[in-house]
Amino acid sequence: MELQRTANAGVLLTMDGVSILLDGLADRVEHYLPTPAEMVEKLMENPPDVLAFTHYHKDHCSDALLLTYRKQNLRPILGPELLHKGAVRMGDVTITPIASRHLGRVEPDLQHVSYIIKGSQCVWFMGDAAPMQWKDRSDLPRPDLLIGPYAYANTKSAWEVTKRLTDKVMLLHLPPREADPYGLWDSVEQTVANREIPLWIPQIGEKISI
C-alpha cells in the first residue's frame, strides 16, 4: 500500500492496484495548504480510479478543480451523498462510507462521511470527523492504518481513543510548521512524545509505503 499527501487533508491511496484520491483536490484556506499546481496537472493527466470526498469544505474539495476534473475524466466521484447508496467496489477494494460528525461547531446541516477502505489491508479515512465519536464504536473493523486530522493526536483523550482504534496513524490537516498560528504542531508533538505506535505526518508530495 502506498500513500502520497496531495493537499491540506488529501491523500492519494494505492492499494491492490486501485488508486483512490481522498479529499485530494483542495483550495488554500487560511494557513492550510492547497493541492500544488504541478500535482493537479499530474492528477488530471493520470486520473485515479476513484475520487472520494468526505465533505465539501474548500480545504477538502475545490469546486473549480472538481469541475475541471469532471470535464476531463469519467472516473467515479464519491461524496457524502454516497451514504445512502452503500459501498462501492473497485477491483479487489471496497470503499464504504460511514456517517460521521465534523469537528467543532459547523453548519448544522453539513453532510460529512468517513470511509472504510478494505482490500488486502484496511484503512480508515476520517476527513474532519471528530475523534471522540468513535470511543464506543466496537461495530467497525479495526484498521491497519487510520488517516485523520491533527485532532486525533493533539489532546491526551483523543490520542487514547486513536490508539485503541488502530496500530498505525497518519495525520493530515496540519499547516506548515513555520506558519502555525494555532500551535497545532506543538500540541501534537507534546501529546505523542512517548507514542507506542507508528505515526506519520507527511509533507505535501511525500510518498509513504506501508
**pLDDT one-digit tens code per residue, 32-76:** 999 999 999 999 999 999 999 999 999 999 999 999 999 998 899
Q: Which helix (H) or strand (E) holds 45?
A: helix 37-45
Checking if the pLDDT of 131 tops 90, the result is: yes
User: Nearest 5 degrees, angle CA 130-CA 131-CA 132?
Assistant: 100
Nearest to 125, CA basis, from 169, 163, 157: 169
Please say whether the dihedral angle defined by the alpha carbons of residues 18, 22, 28 and 30, taken in this order, is positive or negative: negative
Q: CATH code at 73?
A: 3.60.15.10
Number of domains in the chain: 1
Give the separation between CA 32 and CA 108, rounded to whole angstroms.
23
Give the separation between CA 79 and CA 54, rounded to whole angstroms.
6
Residue 194: exposed, middle, or buried by beta-carbon count in 10 A (0-12, 13-18, 19+)? exposed
The residue with cell 479515512 is 125
Give the separation between CA 36 and CA 27, rounded to whole angstroms.
9
Nearest to 53, CA basis, from 72, 29, 27: 27
Compute the mean pLDDT over every residue in the chain, rounded to the nearest whole number.
Answer: 94
CB 11 within 8 A of CB 4: yes
Nearest to 170, CA basis, from 133, 203, 137: 203
The whole-number pLDDT of residue 53 equals 97
Domain holding 202, by residue range, is 2-209
In the chain, the percentage of residues whose pLDDT exceeds 70 is 100
Checking if the pLDDT of 83 tops 90, the result is: no
